[in-house]
Structure 1
Amino acid sequence: MKASEVKDMTPDQLQDELLKLKKEQFNLRFQGASGQLEKTSRVRQVRRDIARIKTIQRQREVAQVKG
């Protein structure tokens, strides 16, 4: 997921995507612990997508307070 895609999302869409990614991260952690994880790079990608969404949410929050 690219930052430009995240910026185009509405706050509700961001929240839904964040929830989906956190569930996926949880499942990936279990797969890794049990030795069933095939795409180890996906863990890093999901973690970065979560951070990207949280960053955009925070930027919007700060912009509302200032504006």
Structure 2
Amino acid sequence: MKTKELRTLSIDDLLKKNAELREDLFKLRFKHGIRRLENPAKLGVLRKDIARIQTVLAERNQK
């Protein structure tokens, strides 16, 4: 997800998206512990998306 797209979302939408991505990351980590993932790079992508959302939220809290 692009940062420009995230900046257009409201704070509530960002918080919902953050919760969804964290849940997906948890599930993937759990699966990765049990067996091999088809696409292990997805873990990194999810972590970076979560970081982008947190950055946008932090920017809005400073204003």
Same fold (TM over 0.5): yes
Percent of paired sites with the same residue = 32
Distance (Å, rounded) in 2 between the aligned partners of 1:41 and 1:10: 28
Structure 1, unmatched stretches of 5+, are: none
TM-score, normalised to structure 1, is 0.90
Any runs of at least 4 consecutive aligned residues in structure 1 with deviations exceeding 3 A, and if so which?
Answer: none
Distance (Å, rounded) in 1 between the aligned partners of 2:37 and 2:53: 24
The number of aligned residues is: 63
Equivalent residue for 2:37? 37
Deviations 1:15-54 (A, max 9, x none): 0000000000000101110114111111000000000000
Higher-Rg structure is 1
TM-score, normalised to structure 2, is 0.96
